[in-house]
């Protein structure tokens, strides 16, 4: 398997490349439209064919590159099936693996950050890797105060779907704001200040209800844009519109 962890600094978003060495087939998890050219150059350098873009959920802090990459590479767009977006090609469902060449990627329904969030699990032959999106972060978790978020649901998702994985499962989050790259299920069960050491539900809910976080800067255009799989809506500021343009790159 070919694996790359890529970073977009404005939204502190990680994009993940998963590729089958035998077939050259690959997928990108949680793309960002601003880094489309970077991702295309990487695919060309590695001689890979992009089969899928996979979004863990409808993002509020950046626009996905799903539509732009589809136009340029003919990749298929995967979103959670519960979203039922007209622009998506495949709806991810728990129990229905996504095949990327010889790789099997297993969707895990993990609502709470949003009511439609999915994480993705794979076995790389040595150990398991889980791409947790915005559900479980490194020593943190996704916020639950917008987009049908629910602290109770997030607590349940993390404990039943993620903390039930083997302790040595590697955790690759959708974001990190302190330069950290990877964690493990064991580390998060022990050290996560919001969830670790068997913190009870009522304490977690109290923490989440008192985070006092600022209103997301891009949410007013990111959510409707991502409901259209990354098409820029009319209210995107002019200075941020350039990455949305689709140039003829072959």
Residues 96-114: pLDDT tens digits?
A: 999 999 999 999 999 999 9
In the block, tokens 């993390």 appear at 158
Q: What is the pLDDT of residue 248?
A: 44
On average, the pLDDT of the chain sits at 96
143-153: pLDDT as tens digits: 999 999 999 99
Q: Is residue 183 part of a domain?
A: yes
Partner residues linked to 52 by β-bridges: 27, 76
**Angle value at C-alpha 74, between 70 and 75, nearest 5 degrees:** 65
| Percent of the chain residues past pLDDT 90, beyond the cut | 94
Q: What is the pLDDT of residue 191?
A: 96
Partner residues linked to 128 by β-bridges: 123
Partner residues linked to 107 by β-bridges: 120
CA distance 194 to 154: 11
Q: Is residue 249 part of a domain?
A: no
Looking at the predicted structure, is the pLDDT value of residue 249 above 80? no
Q: Is residue 247 part of a domain?
A: no
Spatial contact of 162 and 119, defined as CB atoms under 8 Å apart? yes
The domain spanning residue 151 has which CATH number? 3.60.15.10
Backbone angles phi, psi at 95, to 5 degrees: 90, -5
Spatial CA neighbour of 133 closest among 147, 2, 1: 147
Q: Is residue 248 part of a domain?
A: no
Segments forming the whole domain that contains residue 90: 2-241
Q: Is residue 123 part of a domain?
A: yes
32-76: pLDDT as tens digits: 999 999 999 999 999 999 999 999 999 999 999 999 999 999 999
Q: Is residue 250 part of a domain?
A: no
Task: Calculate the alpha carbon distances from 54 to 63, 76, 195, 197, 198 in Å.
Answer: 13, 9, 27, 32, 31
Q: Is residue 246 part of a domain?
A: no
Token representation of residue 201:
């539900």
Indicate the number of domains in the chain: 1
Q: What is the pLDDT of residue 244?
A: 86
Q: Is residue 170 part of a domain?
A: yes
């Amino acid at each position: 398997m070919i694996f790359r962890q890529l970073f977009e600094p404005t939204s502190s978003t990680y994009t993940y490349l998963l590729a089958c060495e035998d077939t050259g087939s690959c997928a990108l998890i949680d793309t960002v439209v601003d880094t489309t050219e970077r991702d295309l150059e990487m695919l060309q350098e590695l001689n890979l064919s992009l089969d899928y873009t996979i979004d863990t959920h409808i993002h509020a802090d950046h626009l996905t590159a799903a539509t732009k990459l589809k136009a340029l590479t003919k990749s298929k767009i995967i979103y959670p099936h519960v979203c039922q977006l007209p622009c998506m090609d495949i709806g991810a469902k728990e129990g229905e693996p996504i095949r990327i060449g010889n790789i099997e990627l297993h969707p895990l329904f993990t609502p709470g950050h949003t009511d439609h969030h999915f994480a993705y699990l794979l076995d790389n032959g040595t150990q398991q890797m889980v791409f947790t999106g915005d559900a479980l972060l490194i020593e943190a978790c996704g916020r639950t105060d917008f987009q049908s978020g629910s602290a109770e649901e997030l607590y349940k998702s993390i404990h039943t779907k993620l903390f039930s994985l083997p302790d040595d499962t590697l955790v690759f989050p959708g974001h990190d704001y302190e330069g950290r790259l990877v964690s493990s299920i064991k580390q998060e069960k022990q050290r996560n200040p919001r969830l670790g050491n068997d913190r009870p539900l009522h304490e977690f809910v109290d923490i989440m209800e008192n985070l006092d976080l600022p209103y997301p800067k891009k949410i007013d255009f990111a959510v409707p844009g991502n409901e259209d799989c990354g098409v820029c809506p009319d209210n995107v500021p002019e200075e941020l519109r350039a990455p949305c343009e689709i140039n003829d790159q072959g």
